[in-house]
Structure 1
Amino acid sequence: MIYISTMDFLVGGLAGVGAGFFSNPFDVVKTRMQLQGELRARGKHAVHYKNVPHAMYNIVKHDGIAALQKGLVPALWFQLVVNGVRLGIYQQADNYGLLRDKDNNTQFVNSLFFGCVSGMCGGLCGSPLQLVKTQLMSYSSQKIAVGTQHAHPGMMYAFQKIYTKNGLSGLWRGAHGMMMRNSIGSASQIASFAVCKEWMDNNNMFQQSKYLSAFVASNIGALVKTVFLNPMDVIMTRLYNQAVDASGRGVMYAGIADCARKIVKAEGLIAFCKGMGPSYLRQAPHTVLLLVFWDMLKDLQKSIKLHA
């Protein structure tokens, strides 16, 4: 039983790593666009990133093509930790019969609940990696700089600098935002994927290939997740990227509510849609790869178990 539990967490983490490598450039673009015009009214700031193609062009022009993979190392570790925890917990709930009814059909409310709880746990564990990843992704040439520029040369340097300045608690600064974001994103993604895939399988739809229904359902999951996630994603990006004082407190935002209030006051409600385009372009391949890899790795796990 211990072996199976460990494998459930490892399978979820590896699925996240595989997906994260391909979706990272869109994460860089999303982060920059969410920081652009921070606490400034529309028309009162330079627009370095008009849309995804324009953003990618400007990043490559000023920072080089490698800049599209900024923050990749902490991003992949983040995927391993967060998805290992959340998909592992979710799979354990399924293993213990907490997600399905007597006919073995997924119960939407149960799936939503465990998706939320597992996402929150994953967010707490992965928060330091998301903090460093955000700060690495936002750093750029001064000509296209947005938000606070932290100038970390790499992941380990960033961890050391944050820990030296603000202690262990400094590494979990903004974790509450990450936990809320991840709980919303995880619940909407996993529940919509599970229910849609099961419905298609039960109704013999998209069965031409073994993983076709998983592919279609994961696209639906990506769309649902993007819509529900983006406002909290903007807040989380701002909380992680802000500068801090000597005691480790953010100099721009006191917390989630304060950040939301200041964004609405200075930028309007439309600001919560910032980066939604690249967010979906990131979420779509990431969710598809993540959930299809998850399905494939679970099948491989079952095969190994049967032949063991």
Structure 2
Amino acid sequence: MAGERRRAWHRFAAGGLGEMFAVSFSHPADVLKVRLQLTGECDSSLRTLRLRDMTAVARKLAVEEGPRGLYAGITAAWLRQAVFGTLRHGLYGVLESCGQVDGGPVPLLWRLQAGLAAGVVAAVVANPTDVVLIRMQSDAGWAPQHRRLYRHAVHGLTRVLHEEGWKALYRGVGPTTARAALVTMSQLATYEEVKSRALAAGAVEGVRLHLSCAMASATVACLATQPVDCVKTRIINMQQTCGISYAGPLDVIRKTLATEGILAFYKGLSATFLRLWPHTVLLWLGQEFVGARLRAWER
């Protein structure tokens, strides 16, 4: 039993550290994704983004704002992954192990259920960090008088709590939880399923196998999560005193469909691939490395 507890602990530690490592490189693409998701919000003339629209947003971010803009909210990103990444990978590992009978393979359906449960729990706990993260990433898009100007993640959490109350820390928890469930199911279940099948077919454990499984995991996750991620971004970014306001996730969907059409939910898909695809690959390579070091350390 002690060995099992150590292995469970490995998943928590390796998952959190792997996510924090990956987000350090993928964060600029995440900022770009958020800015694109907010471009043309409820504007019927921008139902889809053209190449020049995306280029203009990217140029403003990279040239006008520079490193400060590209890494806006990085402290919130690290804090989010320390909470969300640690919990979802660790809980998934614990739940997945419950589906293994007599050393046999874990059924895909069980892996999907484990990903769903782990994603939901982790998202609810980490939602306050998501609120601060999106606000810091999108702050430069507001007029100067409406900017929130959070200095770092803890300052943002404190400001939200004092100025808006604890309920504001859970704004967007519905779409955030739905996205987390989808991303955990798609990322983790796909990776573990592809890896287990490859090993059963005679593949050799190593970087090449890990990279192939990570690429499959990243592709599935990008396509599965984009629409929900767009809804989450818009509802968390809104301000009651200016701009567009929503009554809830369903209101975001209704207004977006009425003004921009269904393809609006895929605004920022290119940036999602630019961010989530390498992020997923890096997190798995990082997690496998940390896990191997922990196992070697225990011997």
Q: How does 1:175-186 map to 2 (within 5 A)?
A: 175-186=173-184
Judging changes above 3 Å, is the alpha-carbon distance between structure 1 residues 54 and 76 closer, same or farther for their aligned structure 2 residues? same
Aligned equivalent of 2:200: 202
- Check whether the contact 2:214–2:281 (CA below 8 A) recurs between aligned residues: yes
Aligned equivalent of 2:77: 75
Name the Cα RMSD after superposition: 2.6
SS at match of 1:193: helix
- Check whether the contact 2:118–2:184 (CA below 8 A) recurs between aligned residues: yes
Aligned equivalent of 2:99: 99
- The CA deviation at 1:5 is 4.0
Q: How does 1:137-148 map to 2 (within 5 A)?
A: 137-140=137-140
Q: Over residues 149-171 of structure 1, what are the superposed CA-to-partner deviations in whole Å (9 max), with x where a residue is unaligned?
A: 43334333322221112222221
- Check whether the contact 2:79–2:153 (CA below 8 A) recurs between aligned residues: no
Higher deviation after alignment, 57-66 or 123-132: 57-66
- Check whether the contact 2:62–2:69 (CA below 8 A) recurs between aligned residues: yes
- The CA deviation at 1:124 is 0.9
Whole-Å separation in 2 of the counterparts to 1:232 and 1:201: 33
Aligned equivalent of 2:153: 155
**1:241 aligned to 237, 258, 264, which one?**
237
- The CA deviation at 1:118 is 0.4
Whole-Å separation in 1 of the counterparts to 2:48 and 2:271: 20
- Check whether the contact 1:134–1:240 (CA below 8 A) recurs between aligned residues: yes
SS at match of 2:35: helix
TM-score normalised to structure 2 length: 0.89
Judging changes above 3 Å, is the alpha-carbon distance between structure 1 residues 45 and 284 closer, same or farther for their aligned structure 2 residues? closer
Higher deviation after alignment, 220-229 or 154-163: 154-163
- Check whether the contact 2:10–2:291 (CA below 8 A) recurs between aligned residues: no
Whole-Å separation in 1 of the counterparts to 2:49 and 2:277: 29
Whole-Å separation in 2 of the counterparts to 1:48 and 1:115: 35
- The CA deviation at 1:140 is 1.7
Whole-Å separation in 2 of the counterparts to 1:43 and 1:263: 11
TM-score normalised to structure 1 length: 0.87
**2:253 aligned to 249, 260, 269, which one?**
260
Q: Which amino acid aligns with 1:21?
A: S
Whole-Å separation in 1 of the counterparts to 2:48 and 2:194: 42
Q: Percent identity?
A: 24
Mapped pair 1:84 → 2:86: yes
SS at match of 1:50: helix
Whole-Å separation in 2 of the counterparts to 1:266 and 1:149: 26
Q: Structure 2: which 5+ residue stretches go unaligned?
A: none
**2:226 aligned to 219, 227, 230, which one?**
230
Higher relative contact order (CA 8 A, sep 6+): 2
Q: Structure 1: which 5+ residue stretches go unaligned?
A: none
- The CA deviation at 1:258 is 1.5
**1:221 aligned to 207, 217, 223, which one?**
217
- The CA deviation at 1:34 is 0.3
Q: Over residues 53-77 of structure 1, what are the superposed CA-to-partner deviations in whole Å (9 max), with x where a residue is unaligned?
A: 6533221222123311111001011
Q: How does 1:48-59 map to 2 (within 5 A)?
A: 50-51=53-54, 54-59=56-61
